[in-house]
Every structure is written in C-alpha cells, then in structure tokens.
Structure 1
Amino acid sequence: MKLLALLLTPLGLLLRRKRAGSAHSIRNAPELATSTSLELTSPSFAPGGTIPLRHATMDLGPNISPALAWSDPPAGTTRMLLVLEDIDVPIARPGRHMIAFFDPEPAHIGEGELTSDNPRFTYLPVHRGRTGYQGPRPLPGHGVHHYTFHLYALDTEPAGTGLDDLLPQLAGHVLASGHLEGTLRG
C-alpha cells in the first residue's frame, strides 16, 4: 500500500457514512433541465461499471481521460458542456473534477484529449483552481464512489468564471443532456 493511501485510509473509514449524495448533483439543477436525451458512452467502461485505473489520478493512475462519444445533438446546438462529478465525497456537495465547454463537432472525445492545453476545450476551474481532466481518486477506505460524466447540448455560449455563476445563464438554453456513470472503490 502506498504511503498516501496508508495515511488516509483511517480517515476514509471514519467518514465512510458521510457522502454528499445526489440531491445537489449538477444533474438535478433546474437550469439544466431538458426532456431530450443524448446517448453518452465510453469504450473504457460500461454504464455503472468500474472506471479503469488508467483514468484515475494521484497515486492510483496516470490521469488519462477516457474516450467519450455521444449521439448527434439537436439542431441549434452551438456549445457542449461536460462536467465530471463525484457524488460520494465526504463533504456537503458533490465534488467536481472537470468542467469543459467545447464545440459540438466532432461528436466524440478521444482518450487523453481532455488536457488543460488542448485548444478544443475551454475549462472552468474546479478544486484548487485546477483545469483539464482531474480523474477519479476516492478517499482510501471510503468505499465505492460514483463518478458521472454529465454532457449538455447548449444553444448559447455563456460567460463566467465558475459553474455556479453560469447556471442562471443556462436556464432555457439546454437542448439535450446525457449522463454516464462509472465507479471506483476507495
């Protein structure tokens, strides 16, 4: 067991019952509500399946973003919003690992493309101001964490510095959404 995991496992075990939960998930934000669905898939893991360690970060893996593909977005889509979220973090609200805007074409992202220096993507900062893909890293000993990729087709290009700032601008501008959940045990 690596030193970091060894040191954090007692904390994870202590906090095992503390989880943010899905109530505050971005998926439930009324500003992002839509009745039209996108199919979001990855060749790396099945829906609800275990996310391979190559897509994890810190001491678990090399932090390579998974490939993602989706069905054609509706006519009028000008931007896509992709959010990676962990609803099982032991804090009050789900943890956001990545927030990215990009053009709707092509309708896929290759493995490893979600880097902070890739000009295709415009990132909003997440935990500690990080941008780009920040893969799963559940607290050791905390149990299974559920990570969801949330994809939204938008008919607007909002401006702002954080997702909470942007949500009011997105109300009424979400044409479709898709969600892909994977898990990783801490």
Structure 2
Amino acid sequence: MTLLGRLLNKRRAGDAHTAWNLPNLRGPEVLSLTSDRFGDGGTMPLEHCARNIGGDDTSPHLAWTRPPGGTVQLLLVVEDIDVPLSRPAVHCTALIDPSSGPLAPGALSGRQPAAGVRVLRSTIGRGYHGPAPIKGHGPHRYVFQLFALGASVDDTATPVDRARPRAVLSAVTAPVLGRARLTGVFER
C-alpha cells in the first residue's frame, strides 16, 4: 500500500469541491467550531480514525458558538480533501438541532447518534467514518464544516434520509446564516 500511496501522492481532490465552496452554502463566517481533541490544523488522535487502521471510529468532541438568530437547523459535513479522487470524500453528514449543546465523542454514530443529531449518508455509509488514508499518501486534511441554516433541509424536495451526500448539499436552499470550519490532519 505504501507504493500506491507514493504513486498517487500528487493526486488530491482539493478544496474547490468542498461543501464550503458550494454557492448555496456560502454565508457569513460568524460561528466558531472547535474540538477538545485537536486544534485547527492539528493531528487527529488515532481513536477518531477508522477501525481498519487501529482506531475506534469514534467521532471527536465538537463545540460551536451560539448560532445566529433564526437558525432552524445545523448541517455538519466532514470531508477528506486529500483523497486521490476528483471530489472530496464525505466522511459524515448530519443534521443537528440548534438547541443541542456540544457533541460528545461518539455523538455522530450511525447506530446510536446523540439526542438532537440525525446522521445521514456519507460516501462510505451512514454516520461518522474516521480517517483511513492510503499508507504513504502523505497527510490528509479532514474538514469539519458547520452551517447554520435558516430553514430545514427537510423542507426540500429531496428525501434527505436516503439521499447521497452531494444531493443533500445541492438541495439546501435555505439561507446560510453562519458557518465555521475546523480541520484535522492524519497521516499513515
């Protein structure tokens, strides 16, 4: 696998196709998103990585500042922007009740999410899926993006519980009242 990682080293999805850069998800950067497990640009602990590389596949603690008035729903999207594909891989998509407090580790579980959290499909499955970059490919950035929406995604024509992540992101028509991002890094 190390050879494959080295061969694909220059190939990366990049930031251009992230949820953050979609025209319908643009908005003021008035929120702050943090984790007590890693700082912005810091290394993600192994426990938050995929089981197949020795992690627990446990979503990290996440906290944010108070959403702007009028926020009906929070949309969280986690993307690997260094995957050797044409678009970032979505590791988690979730809808969060804005009255929910910070998310404890494991709150984004596909089997038993925390109260106020509704996990949707990702590129890999339902719920949070931790980092598992190709060995030797170099550092991968996992971008946690939080959007404060002025209307529920459920009010769109797309049935979000079964939709693929890109369909959910494209279906957002509500104004984005605020947004924030946090980047964790992992390398094998």
What TM-score do the two structures reach when normalised by structure 2? 0.89
How much does 1:120 deviate?
Answer: 2.9
Alignment coverage as a number of residue pairs: 178
The Cα shift of 1:31 comes to 0.4
Counterpart of 2:105, as a letter, is E
1:17 aligns with 2:17: no
Match of 2:145 in 1: 150
Asked whether the 8 Å contact 1:153–1:177 carries over to 2, the reply is: yes
Do structure 1's residue 96 and structure 2's residue 90 form an aligned pair? yes
Aligned to 1:4: none
Which residue identity does 2:167 align to in structure 1? D
Alignment of 1:49-128 (within 5 A): 49-57=42-50, 58-116=52-110, 117-118=112-113, 120-128=116-124
Give the share of equivalent positions with the same residue, in percent: 40
- Counterpart in the other structure of 2:157: none
Amino acid at match of 1:149: F
* One-letter amino acid of the structure 2 residue matched with residue 142 of structure 1: H
In terms of mean alpha carbon deviation, does 110-119 or 135-144 score higher? Answer: 110-119
Range 81-90 or range 165-174, more displaced = 165-174
Of residues 30-39 and 167-176 in structure 1, the stretch that sits farther from structure 2 once superposed is 167-176
- Paired AA for residue 173 in structure 2: A
1:146 alignment partner AA: R
- Give the superposition deviation at 1:107: 3.0
Mark the runs of 5 or more structure 1 residues left unpaired by the alignment. Answer: 1-7
**Residue deviations 1:61-108, cap 9 Å, x none?**
111111010000011111110011010000100111000001012231
Deviation track 1:132-160 (CA, whole Å, cap 9, x = no partner) reads 11011111110000111000111211133
Match of 1:166 among 165, 168, 171: 168
Shift of 1:172: 4.5
**Kept in 2: contact 1:60–1:137 (CA 8 A):** no
Contact in 2 for aligned 1:38/1:176 (Cα 8 Å): yes
Supply the distance in 1 between the matched residues of 2:142 and 2:169 (Cα, whole angstroms): 21
Match of 1:3 in 2: none
> C-alpha separation between the residues in 2 aligned to 1:91 and 1:164?
15
Equivalent pair of 2:153/2:172 in contact (CA under 8 Å): yes
Q: 1:106 to 1:120 in 2, by over 3 A?
A: closer
Which residues of structure 2 form unaligned runs of 5+?
155-159
Q: Residues 120, 35 of structure 1: CA spacing in aligned structure 2 closer, same or farther, 3 A cutoff?
A: closer
Partners of 2:133 and 2:140 within 8 A in 1: yes
- CA RMSD after TM alignment: 1.4
Q: Secondary structure at the match of 2:153?
A: coil
2:148–2:176 CA contact under 8 A, matched in 1: yes
Q: Which amino acid aligns with 2:25?
A: L
